[in-house]
Amino acid sequence: MKKIVYLVCFMAVCKMSVAQNFTETVLWPDGTTENNGIVENELTENNFFVRNISTAKLYVYRPENKNNTGAAVIICPGGGYAGEAIFHEGHDFAKWLTTKGITGVVLKYRLPNGFHFIPLKDAQRAIRTVRYNAKKWNIDPGKIGISGFSAGGHLASTAGTHFDKGNSKSRDEIERLSCRPDFMILFYPVITMRDGFTHEGSRKNLLGEDYKPELEKLYSNEEQVTEMTPPTFLILSDDDTGVLPRNSVEFYMALKQFQIPASLHIIPSGGHGWGTNPSNAQYQAWSVSLESWLGHTVLK
């Protein structure tokens, strides 16, 4: 019965999304030079968690033209790099963004499965792709941000600390563009790979069991902040035991060392993984704070 109800609800969402200028596209239509080795069919568990992702896709939700601010946010769902909670940490947030005049782009990134570089490669490609389609999608190419939840927050913060200006000599027009996001929005993010306050499952799934020490540093994003890291909004629960608050606090402190505009919000309770569904108790806290930050930092 639950599956039937969920299917009906999902179909209703899709119909509504079409009315909201919804498009779905494969991120790498011409294929890639590597794959993550997953051959099993994609599987949705418990009506929200998608496993076995081997093909990256973008789900683009565009606001009504009369309300369009020109900003866009690429969204990386969480899931410990073992799967993706793509609905309450993806599609729900994209739809909220459209009500604020912002294009929401859900990234269903390939899972690492032993290839640590693959999720970041997808995130960078997603930023370039949105920038490439900026005119077509009525987006300001200088207002393209990235967001992420939990391990998706790690991916987003990796994209915000590991980027390039593009390859001007590439035959691929998309690859010629910068993959630097203009801002970041991080919900209860995994930030570090360091012992003591990393999320062990995310580290294991991203780096593997016997990873090289240099990879731990490379993907500890509090150590990768520079003066070029974009402005960042962070929000989490004080009682989060899934991903320790120290992740966000240390990232915030690293941002402030470089005078990067940043806003850190710690709400009293909620634990981990509450997402952006309006029915959640945390909705008021994050939505009001984020809308204010966007107005002062991105949409000014």
User: Is pLDDT larger for residue 20 or for residue 174?
Assistant: 174
Side chain identity at 147, as an amino acid letter?
S
pLDDT at 5 over 80: no
Q: What is the pLDDT of residue 300?
A: 86
- Span 219-236, mean pLDDT? 98
Per-residue pLDDT tens digits for 65-103: 999 999 999 999 999 999 999 999 999 999 999 999 999
Per-residue pLDDT tens digits for 188-211: 999 999 999 999 999 999 999 999
Q: What is the pLDDT of residue 114?
A: 94
Q: What is the CATH number of domain 21-30+40-297?
A: 3.40.50.1820
Per-residue pLDDT tens digits for 142-183: 999 999 999 999 999 999 999 999 999 999 999 999 999 999
pLDDT-derived band of residue 47, with 50, 70 and 90 as boundaries?
confident
Mean pLDDT of the chain: 93
pLDDT at 254 over 60: yes
Domain boundaries, the chain: 21-30+40-297
- Span 34-47, mean pLDDT? 95
pLDDT-derived band of residue 20, with 50, 70 and 90 as boundaries?
low
pLDDT at 229 over 60: yes
pLDDT-derived band of residue 232, with 50, 70 and 90 as boundaries?
very high
**Model pTM score:** 0.93
pLDDT at 23 over 90: yes
